[in-house]
Structure formats: C-alpha cells, structure tokens
A and B are shown apart, each in its own frame.
Chain A
Amino acid sequence: MPLFTPLRTRYSRQAAFGLTAAALLAASPQIAAAQALIPLPLDGEMTEIDAATLDQLTADRFEASSHRGTHIEPVAIDPSVISPLRPVEARGRPAGSAIRFDGESRTLDFALFVPNPGQMQALRLATQSSINILPERSRFRAYINDTLVGEGRLEHFTEFGVVEFPVGSSVVLPGQNHVRIELIQYHRIYCGPEASFALWSDIDLANSGAVLASADGISGQDGFMMGIAAAAATGSGIEIRGAEGLTDYRDEWISQITQRISASLGGDPIPFRFTRYWSVQGAARSAARITFLPGSANSVTFRTSGDGAQVMVVEFIPGQRPTALPEFTDILPRISERAQPALIDTQRPVAFSEFGFRTTEVRDRYALIEQRFRLPEDYVVLTNDKAEIKLDYIYIPDLPSGSMLLVHINGNNMRLLPLRGEGGQLIEQFPLSFEARFLRSGMNTLTFETIIPGSPADLPCPTQDAAMVAIGQGSTLQVPYSPSMYLPDMHLAFSGLTPDSLQVNDMTMRSFDSNDVVTLRAALTGGENAQTAALNPRLHLLSLEDLGSIPMGTYQFSRRAVENVLLQNPEAGPIAAADPGQNSLLRMTERRETGAGFARSWDWLRGGFDATLQWLHPRSGTLLENWLLEQRGQAVLIQLDPSQANQIWMLRAPDSDISAISSALVAARTNAEGPRGQVSILDREGVWHSWVAPDRQPVLLEPVTLGNMRYVVGNFVSATPIRYVAGLFLFALISALFALRLVIATREHRE
C-alpha cells in the first residue's frame, strides 16, 4: 500500500482559486485597491495527461537543463601562460604590441618577470619580418641574463611566426630577469644604405616572453610586475578599480600609487584607466589592476583575479590621508630609471665616456649612432665661438668609394669625414671644430652617421662579422664658455615637469578625462631635472575651446591654425581655403585682381617690401601662423610669453592616444629629441617639431663683469644683429651730425 497518494493535479481548479484570490483581495486593502490590468487568459478546459506523455515531457525538461554552459574538455586546456617581455627604454611611439628592429643589426634590452623559475619552460619569440629580408642569413639571438638561450632565423613574412627556445630554471632568476635580443638582417637583393632602410622585423610582445607551465603559484609582486608587462604588451593598460571610494583623498592615493608604479617601470609609460567594481569585459582583457578596498589599515597585497589579472589590492582606511603604505615603499622592483642624460662641463675636453658613450663598432652599411648629453640650463652661445670634438676612430681598408662618416649636432651636420686613404690606422684626436651656437641649453644630441655603399650594390651584402668602422670612447668634446643667460624656450620648464606640475581647469575634461590625467601624471614621474623642477614648472591641460586662455606675449596665431594641426586627418592636406565660387565677395576680389595688371605689380612690390621688413625686423606672429598651417600632429605644447617661462600649455587632438603622448613625453626627457622653442608639435609618428621664434631675446642671469662682458654683448648682438647695426648706424649718424655741427659752430665762432 503506497504511503503517498499520487497527486495528479488537475489543471481546472479555477473555482477554488477564484474564491481564495477573492478572499485574499478582500483581506489585503493594498491589493484590493489595485486595478487588475493584466488579464488572465481565458479559462480553457485542461485535460488529464497520461503518465507516459508526462514522463516524456519531464525527460525533455531534464535534457534541456543538462546543457547550460560552454563545456570545456580537460584535454583542450593549455594551462601555460606567457610572461611578456617589457622594453626597458621608452620608444616614444608605442604602436600596438609590436616592437620594431630596423636596419642591419640591432640590439634591444627587455625585462622579464618570472615569479617561479621552476615553471619556466621556454622563451617564446613571435617575429614577423619585411619581405626584403634574406632568411638564409638573417637571424636573431636571444640571451637571458647574458646566457645565450637560442638563435633563430627571420623567416616569417606574412604573419607572426613563433619560435620557442627551451630554457632551464638554472638560467632564470626568480623575479626580474634581463633579456637581450640581437638581430642581424640582410637584404635579399641589394646592399648599401638604401637597402638597409628597407630592413625591419617586428617582435610581438604580447606573444613573446617566458612560457610558464601554468598560472599556479603566480602571485605576489613578481606576478604583478608580470601582469604589468602584459598590460603594456597588449595595450590594455592598468585598471584602477574602486577609486570612487577614496572620496576626498582620491587624487592623493591615486598619485602616490600610480607614480610609484610608473617610476618602477621605466620605459614607455602605461596608461591607467578607471573602472568600477562591476564592469563589462572589454575587448582587451585586463592583465594588471589596482583595486582599492576600504579596510581597517592601510596595506597592500597581491592576488590573482578571476579574469586572470594580477591585482594589487590596496586596503585603505576610509576618510584618511594616504599617510603610509609600509609595504609599498620597497615592494616593487625597479626595472629602469628615467634618468636624464649626463651633464657635461664646459671649457674643458670632456671624454665621450663621461657622458655615457661607449666605444662603438659599426658593421652596418648604414648606421645612426646617437648620444645625448646635457649642457647647463643657463648655457647660451649665439656668437661664432667654436666648440671642438677630438675624435678617435678607425675604419677598415678598402671601403667602397663614397664611404663616409657624418657628424651631427642637434640634427645639424658639422662635418663629413670620408672613409678612405687611412684604412686600418687608428686616427686619434682628429679635430672637428664647429660653431657652438648649434649647442643648446639642456639636452643635446651628438650623432654619428655612417654610410658605406654596397660593393656591388645590386647583390646581397657579404657576411660581415667584423666591424667596418669604430668610434672610440676616448674622443673628447669641448664646449666654450657661456655667461649665465637664458633664451626663452619651453625646454626649461619641460625638463622640470613633475606629476604635481599638471594643471587642469573646468574645461580640461573636454579634452582630457581623468584616466588621461592620471596617465600623464604617472608619465611625468622621474626623469625631471632637479634644477629646473625647482622653478615650479606648470603644464596646463587645455581644451581647444579654451585656447584664449593662453598668454600670447608678442606673438599671435589663429584658432584655425591650431585646428589645422589637431583636427586634420594626417593623410589629408591643410584646411582648404574658402572656395571663391561659394562666395560672391571673394569672386569680386578675384576679378578685380585678375583684371588689373598694375595690381599684380603692386603685390609683387609689396611682397618684396614685406620680405625685406621681415628680414630687418622679423614679425614672428606671421611666421608662426604660416608654420602652424603646415603642421599635423596629435599634441601641441605652447609657451609664447617669455615672462611665464615656467608655464607650458598643452592641447591634444580629439582622436589622439594618451599613451602615445605620454610615451613621447617620457622619451623626450630621457632618450630622444624633445619639444623646443615657443611651439612644439608632436606628430603621429612620435616626433616633435618645434618652432623657435627668430626674435627671441636672451636674458642675462648674472651681473655684467669685465670677464663676461664680451660674451654677453656678443650674445645680445648675435640674437638680432640688424637692430644693433641699425642702432650703431644711427648712433654714428647722430655723432657725425653732431661733429659736423660742432665744426660748423666752432668755425662760426672764429669768424
């Protein structure tokens, strides 16, 4: 006898249900008051379902509920993870996850984080090369901590190809490792400088690095640094989550942490982006994150999040200043410093080695060797005083005709040294004097450019294992004395910018959101010149709508000129002039001008007069306007008023990438040419183009003495010689007139 009575519920129990519902409605005033706006379906007569049918229907239900997710077969799971390579130097123009090696030979250094060396399986490199590369002889070598771990051929041309070199745990250190990659590339058809320009190989950083057996055990600060490298390689940036809970001290907390991380990273800055705790997965998966959680003490821990991101969890005491994060101060390893180049002495021969140049051997048909150094920030020489390089160099005999070594200072060619006649002999202290006015205060660039034609030029270069040219670190540079002077230039303020220098106003957010501001602040961490930082420099972030707030000094430019720079597509030409056909007034003007021959003559005369006047007394405003109309870029730095030498104003293109701008800022203070003069534009390739006002006047920063008088006067006169010539001419004329009058008066007296 069954204990349970089978309950075959009949569908038609509406009478009972109706009564119950009516009773409840009566009992509940709230419900009774409600209007029953949702009609129930008509009460159809339901039939009993037989047991077999019911079982079948129920089976359907189980079948449906048994597949409710994306099932993963265990064998399909590859638990290995990649710890990507992190370039130690800022590239100035990060372009996705690829880093480019161009020319015939190139070496780049990377940081590699391996939290647990026991999990290291291999070093993976994903490469893609130009079709011009001769795969049989072009190769790369990879070193970890100066141990060669593998050598491969450059043979992937249409897409990235992967090579893995097995690496034992003995080669790898826990935490940070140094990876060096050397590439040698040969053109498959030609040999020579032109062929060299066509050689390149890319390494996909997102898919290159340490292959770790699994993510198991990846944690702590090394795991976080590994995540940061991945965030940089994939371009996903570092996510900041939960910052809204920091309330009044948000900026202080964010600044402290992002700047510390940025200082540890060196190299290209990584963009930061704010997210909420609850977020939607974006196109790029987060690899590194900083998450703020309120707690009872300030502390830092490292965890791996559910999406695989390496997370630095910062617990903070709500409502309190970020007074101390004891673990944080020394918790992150330092990959590289953002240090400015060495400052050299004046008036004495300074060995190249003193400012970081090491003896360099050149094996390439074309090579560009750049070395930065700094001069004092109050260094101004505008006269024709000479600086001198005494060069140690050597080249092999029988170099092809036309081989040469070019020496440049700040992009200006100083000397051309033919590489012939003395092959095989060490040439010591070869004197190269050049005008010191090509030197600048602050950062300078000394460049050696070697050009060695192919012989023959229409066949691939022979294997070149030995160096063809070498430049010695014992070479010296001597620059002449400069009185303490200042030439208005944004470089002074730029070199001293710090995270605190960033200034925003109510309109800033139209062009820079909070993510951008944090990323820029972090990029300005480290690399500042302590001397100029003491001037309390300011970098104002402006929107285009706020252009009028820029002090213009004696200069001028139109809003249209700036829009031409920032709003134009790089491929497009300048903003087109108004179509005369669209404007009757312009058509009338055109008719008048074309109809009158004398008017053209008048225009010619007027143009000549303007040119002469411009030569005599340059009108910088016109020049600046014209210069701007020819430029395209993603950011503009402006400093026009010389009385506000510690202030710079910055504008950006609406479609610009803040990480590219940040990277260019870092590179400009460490290892690349930076903004100069009164207006500087960062183009889409990460190169700064600067406009220097021709009429800027030096400012003397020390008293005039007998010792410095000649130099001071020389600089003032050299700045705008025509003024002094005209002044002296006027003085001479007045003197002559006075003398003449004196003679006449004297003679009258005698009579």
Chain B
Amino acid sequence: MNRRRFLTVMGAAPALAMAGAGSGAAQGLLTSDLTETAMPLWQAWRDSFLQPDGRVVDGLQRNASHSEGQGYGAVLASEFGDQPAFDRIVDWTEANLSVRGDGLLAWRYLPGEVNPVPDSNNASDGDLFYAWGLVRAAQRFNEPRYLTRALQTAQSLAERCIMPVAPGANETVFLPAAQGFVHADRIVFNPSYVMPLAMREVAAATGVAELARTAQNAESILLRLAQTGPVPDWVQVTPQGMSAAPDFSANTGYEAMRVPLYLVWSGLNNHPAVTQMVRVYTRTVQPGVPVPTIIEPASGTVLEASNDPGYRALAALVSCAGTPGETGSLMPPFDPSQPYYPATLQMFAMIAANQVTPQCVPI
C-alpha cells in the first residue's frame, strides 16, 4: 500500500489537501529547500542549544534536557540534513533517556544530579517528535535503522498512550504519558501533545495506524474545544463531557500555544483552533509590545507576555496562515539569544510556513 493510499484510508487526505491548497495559494512563493535558504538559522540554533555530546539544553529549566527537546532537535536536524548532529542527538538520547525498556523515553534529564533521570515516566509528545525525527531521517539519510527505532516508539505509543475517550468508544485520545493521567473519574490530556502531521507520517512509515486514527480524532476534539475560545493547556474528559482541567492549567499558555502551530504545520489553516488564536493575536500583538504567552481563554485577558522573538514568530505565522489572502508575515529574524523553547518554536514556525504557507515569509 503506498503512502497516499494509506493516508486516504486513515482520513489524512483532508489535511494533505489543505496543505496542498496552502502551497497553491502562495502567489508565486514556493516551498524552498531550507538547507539552502535558512541554513544559518539551524547553525545558530545548533550552536546555542545542542551540546557536542548531542544533548539539547533548556537553560531556563536548570539546564535540563527533555525527551521533547531531543525529539525537536531530531526533527530539526533531519529537516536541515545534518546527519552528524542527528546522530549525536540520537546517541545521547538512547544512552540517557531510553531507560524504560519499552522504546519510550524518560521525559527529563537533570544534569549534575545523583540520579539525573528521577522520573522514568515518558512524555508522549517527546516520543512522538523523536519518532518523527527518526522517520524523516530514515528517508533523508537513507538509513533504515532509524525506521526500526521509530517503529519501536510508535508501537509503544500506540500501546501505552492511546486509549478510548470512554470504554467502548471509537474515539481515541493521545495521553500525555504512559502513567499518571488516567484517573477513576477522568482522563486528562494535553491538546498540544497532538501533532497531526507527525502522527500521520509516523503512522505511514511504521504502519502503526492507531497514530493516524488518533490524529484524526484529535482534530475533531480540538474542533469541539475551540468552539468557545482558544484551546486550553490541559483538558479533562469526564462523564459530563470535555472541559479545561482547572487543577492543571485551564489557561491558554506555553503548552497550548503549540496547538495552532501544529495545526498550521499539518495544513489545517482553517481549523477553528487556529481561528481562535488569530483573533487573540489580532487583538493583542503590536510592534514593540510583548506578545501574549498566557491567556485566560474565556475573557481573553493577557496574563503573561514575552518579548522572545519565537513567540512573536509563532503569532505571526498563525495570524498569516489563518487569514485568507494574507501575504507576508510579521515573523522577526531568528534570535539565538532567546531561550530554548521560543527559539525552537520559531524554527518550527519557519518550517511550517515554508512547507504549508510559503506566502507567509517574513517581510
């Protein structure tokens, strides 16, 4: 079964069709090879956040490393065709985070601690991006061994981090981790852990169809969540239905800001979750004024803002991609002096714009 046929079966065709529409609406700007047009950005990111041993460092988090960062780094390295960097990332990750035995990664590494990996629980988004990086690298570098490793992760994710939203229900949900989020009275999940494009590509490459099906379900769940406002950071599913998880974070913050990014990257520019954030950004983002990073979804009140260029880039991408007919975005230049997280989101915003909405190049 070829990839397109497989994705059609798994309901991915709409997403790809929209992605194609995005490219078609580029009004002359086409997707470029970022290794030719943006290599200095990757070099700057790599120099700032990737250690020689392959550890991606989050300076704001006590110089910790996360499976998320390793996964993000793997995706970036494969995107920019940097196999040495990719191999370093994978080697370090396998040596330090792949301690569970099931192919999933421990979510955090704390340097300098007696036990640098105190919690062996995983973070499903880190695993997903790690697998996605492996899948892309396998194709880009023609290395089948990467695909073998991706299969192990995909299979474990399907087995341990995907479950029905209710017993017997067809709709599945992507759990944040293998442990800790399924309770007697509710399931808690993080909408920003869902990256539809990554789930579909990993599913297509490994044959783990549950990932693609869950991506499709997640889009539907996000659609429902976005009916009343921006998608919150954490969501709980109870017998009464789906709502923000107040004891986690009911705000639209550093977690949920990735939701519209991933949707745009997946070609879902017109998804209501994107539209909701376009409204927020249209109202709040101005030149010289910090960009909101935490919003109270119901009122739209800005609770926290930042001048990190990555957040501004994210807002600019969402605003441009989510506004029909918009050409040229307000993404700032990449600044490697910003923290790891906004810097990485800025790299993703660039890749998403390049792949899906090339008309949204920075002016």
Residues of A within 8 A of B (CB): 2-9, 11-14, 16-17, 20-21, 24-25, 27-28, 30-31, 33-44, 46, 49, 54-55, 57-58, 60-62, 64-72, 74, 77, 79, 81, 214-216, 218, 241-242, 245, 276-282, 286, 289, 291, 293-296, 303-308, 311, 313, 315, 318
Tell me whether A306 and B287 are in contact in the complex, defined as CB-CB below 8 angstroms, given that A4-B182, A69-B339, A291-B363 are known contacts. yes
Question: What chain B residues lie within 8 Å of A70 (beta carbons)?
Answer: 306-308, 338-339, 342
Q: Which 9 A-B pairs have the closest CB atoms?
A: A294-B28, A34-B144, A306-B330, A278-B38, A307-B332, A37-B145, A306-B332, A277-B361, A68-B341
Tell me which of A11, A67, A81, A307 contacts B101 (CB under 8 A).
Answer: A11
Contact A21 B239 (CB under 8 A): no
Q: List 26 A-B contacts (CB under 8 A).
A: A2-B184, A3-B239, A4-B184, A6-B184, A7-B163, A24-B207, A27-B207, A28-B207, A31-B144, A33-B144, A38-B94, A54-B121, A62-B249, A65-B255, A66-B254, A67-B254, A71-B305, A72-B307, A214-B288, A278-B350, A280-B41, A280-B334, A281-B334, A282-B333, A306-B313, A306-B316
A6 to chain B, nearest CB (A): 5
A29 to chain B, nearest CB (A): 11
Interface residues of B in 168-191 (CB under 8 A from A): 178-187
A533 to chain B, nearest CB (A): 36
C-alpha spacing A55/B178, complex, angstroms = 13
Tell me whether A38 and B363 are in contact in the complex, defined as CB-CB below 8 angstroms, given that A9-B178, A66-B249, A79-B288 are known contacts. no
Contact B362 A306 (CB under 8 A): yes
Contact B289 A41 (CB under 8 A): no
> B70-78, B153-161, B214-222, B271-279: which lies at the A interface?
B153-161
Contact A67 B179 (CB under 8 A): no
Contact B331 A280 (CB under 8 A): no
B309 to chain A, nearest CB (A): 7
B337 to chain A, nearest CB (A): 8
Question: What chain B residues lie within 8 Å of A4 (beta carbons)?
Answer: 166-167, 182-187
Contact B28 A295 (CB under 8 A): yes
Contact B305 A74 (CB under 8 A): yes
B97, closest chain A residue (CB): A41
A247 to chain B, nearest CB (A): 11
Contact A34 B145 (CB under 8 A): yes
B59 to chain A, nearest CB (A): 11
Contact B254 A11 (CB under 8 A): no
Q: Report B293-336 CB contacts with A as 1/0, cut-off 8 Å.
A: 10000000000111111111100100000000001111111111
Contact A71 B306 (CB under 8 A): yes
Question: What chain A residues lie within 8 Å of B141 (beta carbons)?
Answer: none
Total cross-chain contacts (CB, 8 A)? 267
Residues of B within 8 A of A (CB): 27-29, 34, 37-38, 40-41, 44, 60-61, 64, 66, 90, 94, 98-103, 107-108, 118-121, 123, 144-149, 151-152, 155-156, 159-160, 163, 166-167, 178-187, 206-208, 239, 248-249, 253-255, 286-290, 293, 304-313, 316, 327-339, 341-342, 350, 354, 359, 361-363
Contact B100 A311 (CB under 8 A): no
C-alpha spacing A241/B361, complex, angstroms = 10
C-alpha spacing A241/B44, complex, angstroms = 20
A78, closest chain B residue (CB): B288
A25, closest chain B residue (CB): B151
Interface SS of chain A: loop
Contact A8 B179 (CB under 8 A): yes
Which of A303, A306, A318 has the most C-beta atoms of chain B within 10 angstroms of its own C-beta? A306
Contact B148 A31 (CB under 8 A): yes
A30 to chain B, nearest CB (A): 7
Contact B254 A293 (CB under 8 A): no
Question: What chain A residues lie within 8 Å of B329 (beta carbons)?
Answer: 306
Question: What chain B residues lie within 8 Å of A81 (beta carbons)?
Answer: 288
Contact A3 B103 (CB under 8 A): no
Question: What chain A residues lie within 8 Å of B290 (beta carbons)?
Answer: 72, 77
Question: What chain A residues lie within 8 Å of B338 (beta carbons)?
Answer: 69-70
C-alpha spacing A8/B94, complex, angstroms = 25
A343 to chain B, nearest CB (A): 45
B138, closest chain A residue (CB): A34
B87 to chain A, nearest CB (A): 10
A17 to chain B, nearest CB (A): 6
A315, closest chain B residue (CB): B327
| Given contact pairs A13-B159, A36-B149, A38-B94, a sample of 9 additional A-B residue pairs in the complex whose CB atoms are under 8 Å apart | A3-B166, A66-B253, A69-B306, A72-B305, A278-B334, A281-B332, A281-B337, A303-B363, A313-B363
Contact A44 B101 (CB under 8 A): yes
Which of A58, A214, A215 has the most C-beta atoms of chain B within 10 angstroms of its own C-beta? A58
Contact A40 B98 (CB under 8 A): yes
A1, closest chain B residue (CB): B184
B66 to chain A, nearest CB (A): 8
Question: What chain A residues lie within 8 Å of B182 (beta carbons)?
Answer: 4, 6-7
Tell me whether A61 and B107 are in contact in the complex, defined as CB-CB below 8 angstroms, given that A20-B155, A70-B339, A281-B333 are known contacts. yes
B64 to chain A, nearest CB (A): 7
Question: What chain B residues lie within 8 Å of A34 (beta carbons)?
Answer: 144-145, 147-148
B330 to chain A, nearest CB (A): 4
Question: What chain A residues lie within 8 Å of B254 (beta carbons)?
Answer: 65-69
Question: What chain B residues lie within 8 Å of A30 (beta carbons)?
Answer: 144, 147
C-alpha spacing A106/B66, complex, angstroms = 62
Contact B29 A293 (CB under 8 A): yes
Contact B103 A17 (CB under 8 A): yes
Question: What chain B residues lie within 8 Å of A304 (beta carbons)?
Answer: 287, 330
